[in-house]
Amino acid sequence: MRAVVKNGIGIFSPQGFLDGNSSTVFISFEDIEATKKANADMILVSLKKVIFFNRNGLDMFIKLFAKVRKEKHIVVGFCDYDDKKFNAIVNFYANELNFSLFQTREIAELFTHKYTEDKQTVLIFTGDKSQDSAMAIELHDHGHNPIIAQSKKDFDTKSTQSDTFNYLISNSVLGNMGNSVTTRVTANSIIYTLHGFLDAEIGNKFNIAYHNNSLNIGFRLFIFDSYKVVNLNIHALNFFSRLASAAAEYDASICFAGLSIEKLPNTFKENMEDAGILFFEQLDDILHDKKILEELTGSTAVNIKLKRKINKTTVAELPSFIDATVAIIEMMTNAKALKEAVNIQEIIIEEKSDLIASSIGFYGEVDGMLILVFPKEIAKITCELLIGEKTDDEELILDTLSELVNIVGGKMKTLLADEGVSINITLPRTYKRISNLLENTKGRKGVQVDLAFNDKKFLFFLTR
């Protein structure tokens, strides 16, 4: 079967039943190769004409997806399904959903570089904040106007406003091939999701560069959501013990939530606690306890020997970082930016109550940390744009600031890629108190750029 390539998407359209015996009839690796040569941004399998499928029927496609993703980093997955089919796929691959799902091919087209229609206003709610943010970044990067609903009720209410939104995205997923330890940020905590039996392979599945850069930008609490873990062996124990020892240098905490202690060998829990790892029965025992969260996420100054000086390689990319920041802020606030000063120094901020901040790490061919300090008024404008209404809710404003910095990071990544420089980005950390930010950046020299948007001061700081 050959794919139909249109608007940057190669779509295979099998019909009838998909099971272990029939899948190879519908698509082969040669078909995939032919589609790749057509310069498609995505390769998708449409389920529109599929009457029935089981996991065996989909596994053949998943294996082909893995090969394509490894050889050529393009989006792969399924499209054109109803709620029943979507739920079946999510249930089949609950712990390994490493491919993308788009409700329709029209929604998939929004995420391609070959989309030629006017900018679209898109309402998003998947129930997963990391997914919502990732989609918002991608859609912004492709010139669209995404708005993230804050709840299912909010999504249902806004989705009735047919004149406001061109597209609604709910049962869709942006897959991340090859990263089976999924990551999200909640309450300034990095949460990793584990499942199955943990052995020496955890070192290959865990993105240690991402983790180290999250430490570098100021995250101090790392939670392993472990209720789906069956057991772990001595190799996994050693891995987590090393992780905890490294975290201690940053005064950071490693926690396990939901791990069935009775399943562990007798000495494992004791050894992990000796390494400084904390245990909680449930994830909510941490996230819903403000006192524990404040204690574990509090920013503490890191020993000065861990600070790295900004180097010429990072400074050389400064124009791309500034361009990404200015482009996004101008787009979100409808205001032109004015550059007032550029200095190499430790970060200098006038301590004011109307300021909030966020940091995001990047690593790869260049590495470092980008810090943005906003007047709350700019953050409020951004929040209004993303959720479609005004708010004074401080937590919601911080969440929106986090999404904005995520979008800046995505834009930064794209601009550098155009110059042949490859980087990855962490999820952002927010600071409601500037004193916490100053404590975390103490001893770091970097490039500080003072900007103004409609006479509102805005600070950009690039360091390592």
Rounded distance between C-alpha atoms, residue 93 and residue 63, angstroms: 13
**Superfamily covering domain 306-463:** CheC-like (3.40.1550.10)
Average confidence (pLDDT) over 385-405: 77
Mean pLDDT (the chain, rounded): 80
**Domain locations along the chain:** 4-169, 182-298, 306-463
Q: How far is CA 238 from the centre of its chain?
A: 27
pLDDT value of residue 20:
67
Mean pLDDT calculated for residue range 228-251: 87
Helix axes 55-71, 29-37, angle to 10 degrees: 40
Q: How many angstroms separate the CA atoms of 32 and 44, rounded?
A: 10
Distance CA 460, CA 100 (A): 34
Among 39-43, 242-246, 436-440, the range scoring the smallest mean pLDDT is: 39-43
Report the 3 state secondary structure along the chain.
CCCEEECCEEEECCCEEECCCCHHHHCCHHHHHHHHHCCCCEEEEECCCEEEECHHHHHHHHHHHHHHHHHCCCEEEEECCCHHHHHHHHHHCCCCCCCEEECCHHHHHCCCCCCCCCCCEEEECCCCHHHHHHHHHHHHHCCCEEEECCCHHHHHHHCCCCCCCCEEECCCECCCCCCCCEEEEECCEEEEEEEEEECCCHHHHCCHHHHHHHHHCCCCEEEEEEEEEEEECHHHHHHHHHHHHHHHCCCCEEEEECCCHHHCCCCHHHHHHHCCCEEECCCHHHHCCHHHHHHHHCCCCCCHHHCCCCCHHHHHCHHHHHHHHHHHHHHHHCCCEEEEEEEEEECCCCCCCCEEEEEEEEEECCCEEEEEEEEHHHHHHHHHHHHCCCCCCHHHHHHHHHHHHHHHHHHHHHHHHHCCCCEEECCCEEECCHHHHHHHHCCCEEEEEEEEECCEEEEEEEEC
Strands 429-431, 189-198: pairing kind: unpaired
Cα separation, 176 vs 309, in Å, equals 32
pLDDT band of 85, cuts 50, 70, 90: very high
Residue range 4-169 forms a domain whose CATH class is: alpha beta
Taking the C-alpha atoms of 203, 223, 182 and 424 in order, what is their torsion angle to the nearest 10 degrees?
A: -80
pLDDT at 179 over 50: no
417: Cα within 13 Å, side-chain hemisphere: 10
Kindly tell me the burial class for residue 73, based on how many C-beta atoms sit within 10 Å of its own C-beta (0-12, 13-18, 19 or more): exposed
243 compared with 380, residue with greater pLDDT: 243
How much is the pLDDT for 146? 85
Taking residues 60-75, what's their average pLDDT? 72
If pLDDT is split at 50, 70 and 90, which confidence band does 19 have? Answer: confident
Distance between CA 292 and CA 285 in Å, rounded? 9
In angstroms, the Cα distances linking 158 to 150, 293, 388 are 11, 33, 9
pLDDT for 303: 43
pLDDT per residue as tens digits for the range 87-134: 999 888 875 677 889 999 999 999 887 777 788 889 999 887 767 777
User: Which pLDDT tens digit goes with each residue over 255-301?
Assistant: 999 888 776 777 888 888 888 899 998 888 888 888 888 888 865 44
CATH class of 182-298: alpha beta
Cα separation, 297 vs 356, whole angstroms? 17
Q: How confident is the model at residue 176 (pLDDT cuts 50, 70, 90)?
A: low
User: For residue 152, what are the CA distances in angstroms to 127, 158, 161, 169?
Assistant: 7, 10, 15, 12
Which residues are CB-contacts of 30 (< 8 A; sequence separation ≥ 6)? none
- Per-residue confidence band for 177, with pLDDT thresholds at 50, 70 and 90: very low
Distance from C-alpha of 236 to C-alpha of 201, rounded to nearest angstrom: 8
172 — pLDDT class (breaks 50, 70, 90): very high
Distance CA 437, CA 268 (A): 36
Question: The whole model's pTM is what?
Answer: 0.58
Check if 4-169 and 182-298 are the same fold.
yes
More confident residue, 354 or 386: 354
